[in-house]
Amino acid sequence: MTQHGRAVPSDLRAHRRPGINYDGLPDVLAGTAVEPGDAAYAGVRSTYLRGGSPGLVLRPQSPAEVVEAVAVARRHQHLPLGVRSGGHGISGRSTNDGGLVIDVGALDAIEVLDASRRLVRVGPGARWKHVASALQPHGWALGSGDYGGVGVGGLATAGGIGFLGRKHGLTIDHLRAVELVLADGSVVRASDTEHPELFWAVRGAGANFGIVTSFEFTVDEVPDIGWAQLAFRVDDPAAFLEEFGRVTDAAPRETTPNLIMGRSGVAQIMAMVASDDPDVVVAQLQPFAEIAPLVQQQVVIAPYASVMNMFPDAPHQGRGEPVSRSGLVTELTPEVAAASARLLASGAVHWFQLRSMGGAVADVPRDATAFAHRDARFSIVAMGANAQRVDRAWDQLRPHLSGSYLSFETDTGPDRILEAFPPATLARLRALKAELDPTNLFRDNFNLATPPTRSLA
């Protein structure tokens, strides 16, 4: 048997999943598509954290091929649809069981459009470590989370809480335009002057409206930065967390610290100081070093790209379903610290992170982007193995939360949507969703569509 000129052995056909028209793929997609049984399948079925068994992975090589891939998805709307850029996302929706995955990893170009304005175009499949390396020779950087292996597409449509955040804001705050393929296959450019409502929505809820094929960012002039890794012995987690919050709030906005804790009694602060002056770096880090007894420390002056390239790429061979909970708080109060300490002590979570916000993040009006929680000063993430146990422990913290950041959440239920978007923001998003995606094609990543009204009959 052949598929558009490609021989398809009978043993490969035996692995095919029901409900997929494998033989009807357009020629431009058939050559790079991966289906169960293909030699390449093991490398594309799962993501960094989540195991998957999709029925077909489409790998378009150009924006025009993304249009074709979306057309295939429309013909298979009865199946789950995952959209993947880097495949690192904690939310885990870029794979599935038996459905389609559109993988835009090949759209990874990085180019300077206008050096005088520091305007760059980046493909959704690029990874942030490669973006940082491409910008470094110009003395530029773009804040982008805390791990260089993450793909651009998911982060740049959700928010982007990173190590330059308190100085330079969220990643989406640097976005100037996007080109994307909508559910009906049309290709549009969105900016402040072209489809401005869509441009507003993409910056915080982009996964619901289409597949971005390119981003245009204005990047920052960033010299070498101060980079610190500090490890502490922690005897009283609540007191440590409360003090970490106090020191962070008092720190100049050049300093953006993140905190990781587990059950080991050790806490790690990773902090970036947006300065290449050693005296400034040391002065801004010293209050953090005094929070608790240090057991290890490393402070260097380095290019931002070196931090983004610090960790090697890990294979995308996740197993099972990740369990992660996400929340935002406007203040690390004694109550938040105590609830977080109880969460850690419960044994339900093995990883707990605080990312600091505030500073430049809060300079942007809350209605300027679909990410509306501009008053949040910390993002909280907890990960565990059992959803029921994690939820019981997380519920102690939930009353203190002021919102959620969906990139770190794996519960896709409707309540999470209500936490992530304030009522006015959600109403505006749902109106646009109904207009641009009336059949709800892009529904498998925190679905914004208005829930159907239940009959009382």
DSSP string, 141-208: E----S-TTSBHHHHTTT----TTHHHH--GGGGEEEEEEE-TTS-EEEEESSSSHHHHHHHHHHGGG
Helix (H) or strand (E) holding 25: none
- Predicted confidence at residue 457, as pLDDT, reads 45
CATH, domain range 225-302:
3.30.70.100
Backbone angles phi, psi at 149, to 5 degrees: -80, -5
CATH, domain range 2-103:
3.30.43.10
Closest residue by Cα to residue 156 from 71, 198, 74, 216: 216
pTM for the whole structure? 0.95
Decide: helix, strand or coil at residue 96. Answer: coil
Residue partners of 361: CB distance under 8 A and separation at least 6? 161, 165, 166, 169, 170, 173, 374, 376
Alpha carbons within 13 A on the beta-carbon side of 216: 16
- Predicted confidence at residue 454, as pLDDT, reads 55
- Predicted confidence at residue 1, as pLDDT, reads 37
- Predicted confidence at residue 153, as pLDDT, reads 96
What is the distance between the alpha carbons of residues 9 and 140, in angstroms, rounded to a whole number? 50
What is the distance between the alpha carbons of residues 457 and 454, in angstroms, rounded to a whole number? 9
Domain with CATH 3.30.465.10 in the chain: 110-221
- Predicted confidence at residue 456, as pLDDT, reads 47
Closest residue by Cα to residue 399 from 419, 414, 383: 419
Supply 193's token pair: 């002057």
- Predicted confidence at residue 2, as pLDDT, reads 41
What is the distance between the alpha carbons of residues 153 and 425, in angstroms, rounded to a whole number? 22
Class of 110-221 in CATH:
alpha beta
Helix axes 196-205, 423-436, angle to 10 degrees: 110
Inter-residue contact 433 to 208 (CB < 8 Å): yes
Residue ranges, the chain, pLDDT below 50: 1-2, 5, 455-457
Domain with CATH 3.30.70.100 in the chain: 225-302
Return the amino acid letter for 58. L
Q: Which residue has the tokens 């406007």?
A: 330
What is the distance between the alpha carbons of residues 441 and 394, in angstroms, rounded to a whole number? 32
**323-423 maps to CATH 3.30.565.10:** no
